[in-house]
Chain A
Amino acid sequence: MNELAEIISQNEGQIRAEWIRDMGSSVQRADLIGKDELEEQCRSLLSAIVTGIRTSGPGDLTAAGWSSTREFLQEISASRARQGFSPADVATFVLSLKRPIFSLIRREMASSQEKLFEAIWTVTELLDRLALITSEAFMAAREELISRQQEELLELSTPVVKLWDGILALPIIGTLDSARTQVVMENLLQTVVATNSKYAIIDITGVPTVDTLVAQHLLKTITAARLMGAECIISGVRPQIAQTIVHLGINLEDVITKAKLSDAFALALQRSGRKVVRESGAPVSPISGLFAKREE
């Protein structure tokens, strides 16, 4: 097998040139990977393969001699996944090495059919396995990307808004499951600390149903906030939700609840010693006298 390694290493440049040519533009993606970088990656992979064959033989890819090859493949595979290559492109990157190496072996080993067949079979198996490693690494990277995006989506979907100095609002839209509640809770509490806000209004107008589990999650959030020195007010309690809560026997004795966010805001203002006052002498709109004024 050392002969194989020798042949590859001695003709490295030629193999590389044919390889890149055979890859095709969809695998090269000159817009994503610069020409020099691609050449470098090909050189590194070829050299790693040669080392692998020399150190541990071409059969066992889990052996130590192949660890740097595996790592290299995982790395470029993950980076291509992030860049948006397709899984086929990434596997083809490795598989298109076959033809240049086969041509080479056919030239060099033309004398012995036995050796030729042996070598072709070895290279086929080797490159197939390397392609599999590459594909698996690609999948793993894609999955990690997706789960990270899901996390970010979770965070974005429940922004914490500052209503006033020391008063935060957290409008929740959609269902609250265990995972989401954790994120929401951490986010709220961290914002409480960062903005030094004593009052946090959790608005559940957009929460379709409140069952015992959701109520438990909310209660945990409220208790944690209280432990830190902040108070939570729940607002946006719809009539149906109020009924459900009583029906389920959920104990909200210690919790302040309000039907509307504006009521909750007014309460928070009052509790923090503030008042909203209309200034006398403020310009009055000419048509304001036409409509009945309803002060809230």
Chain B
Amino acid sequence: MERIPVLRMGSLLLITIQVDMHDKLALQLQDDVTERISEWGSTGVLIDISSLEIVDSFIGRMLANIAAMSRVLGADTVVVGMQPAVAITLVELGMSLPGVRTALSVEAGMELLFAALPGTQSGSGHERSEA
């Protein structure tokens, strides 16, 4: 059965959602993420939704659930790449996704996750670019 692939990158899990998900697919993803975190001891989950043109309340709850469940299992979650139209619609819907950290890009998301790791040098979470 089709599933959204969950890729491993060191201590991070990388998920790119590109399809218009039906409910079962979304629930399957929730299950897969929690299993992988347990299996691989991941400490970070990065969900790339830059291809998602629609995020309704169901998908929104799914993202919030993944963030919450991962936290219980000791991992941080960052959702990246939300499209402007999607953000505007979610706000109008009344969903602000509390508890879900977000970043503009995969790169920014990874920086957030690495910064959160204990004992890393760039613990202050600042971007390192020339002023």
Q: Which of A7-15, A187-195, A202-210 contacts B (4 or more CB under 8 A)?
A: A187-195
For this complex, into which size category does the number of interface residues on chain B fall? 20 to 34
Asked if B90 is at the interface of the complex by the 8 Å CB criterion, the answer is yes
Given contacts A189-B84, A227-B82, A229-B82, contact A196 B131 (CB under 8 A): no
- How many residues of A are counted as interface, with CB atoms below 8 angstroms from the partner's CB atoms? 28
- A227/B96 in contact, CB under 8 A: yes
Judge whether A232 is part of the interface by a CB distance below 8 angstroms.
no
A193 to B80, CA, bound (A): 11
Is A198's beta carbon under 8 Å from chain B? yes
**B92 proximal to A (CB < 8 A):** yes
Query: Is B108 in contact with A224, judged by CB distance below 8 angstroms?
Result: no
From A186, A197, A198, A274, contact of B84 by CB (8 A): A186
Flag if A228 contacts B92 (CB, 8 Å): no
Assembly CA distance A166 to B127 (angstroms): 10
Q: CA–CA, A223 to B128, complex, Å?
A: 26
B104 interface residue per 8 A CB criterion: yes
B88 within 8 A of A: yes
Flag if A185 contacts B88 (CB, 8 Å).
Answer: yes
Q: How far is the CB of A98 from chain B (nearest CB, A)?
A: 53
List 5 other contacts, CB 8 Å, given A229-B103, A274-B131.
A166-B127, A193-B104, A229-B102, A229-B109, A273-B128
- Residues of A at the B interface (CB closer than 8 Å) are 164-166, 185-186, 189-190, 192-193, 196-198, 220, 223-230, 269, 271-276
Q: Which residues of B come within 8 Å of A, CB atoms?
A: 80, 82-85, 87-88, 90-92, 96-97, 102-105, 108-109, 124, 126-129, 131
